[in-house]
Amino acid sequence: MSSISSAQAKSLQIKVLDKSHLLLIMDIEKKSFKKPWTHDGYAQLFEQKNYMGFGVFYGNKMAGFCFFYFVLDELHIVNIAIDPALRRQKLATTLLLYIEAWAVKKGLKKIFLEVSVENLAGVALYENIGFMRQSRRMKYYPDGKDAILMVKEL
State the catalytic residues.
114, 126
Cβ 18 to ligand COA shortest distance, Å: 21
> CA 42, CA 67: separation in Å to the nearest integer?
9
Q: Is residue 88 part of the contact set for ligand COA (CB under 6 A)?
A: yes
Binding window for ligand COA (CB under 6 A); candidates: 5-13, 35-43, 91-99, 134-142: 91-99
Report the first-to-last Cα separation within the chain, whole angstroms.
Answer: 33
Q: Is residue 85 part of the contact set for ligand COA (CB under 6 A)?
A: no
Q: Is residue 9 part of the contact set for ligand COA (CB under 6 A)?
A: no
Residues 20-50: b if buried by 16+ CB within 10 A, e if exposed: ebbebbbebbeebeeeebeeeebeebeeeee
> CA 75, CA 85: separation in Å to the nearest integer?
28
Q: Is residue 89 part of the contact set for ligand COA (CB under 6 A)?
A: yes
Binding mask 118-137 for ligand COA (x = CB under 6 A): -xxxx-xx--x---------
Q: Is residue 92 part of the contact set for ligand COA (CB under 6 A)?
A: yes
Binding window for ligand COA (CB under 6 A); candidates: 4-12, 19-27, 37-45, 81-89: 81-89
Q: Is residue 99 part of the contact set for ligand COA (CB under 6 A)?
A: no
Nearest to 99 by CA among 37, 45, 62, 152: 152
> CA 148, CA 154: separation in Å to the nearest integer?
19
Cβ 135 to ligand COA shortest distance, Å: 16
> CA 127, CA 125: separation in Å to the nearest integer?
6
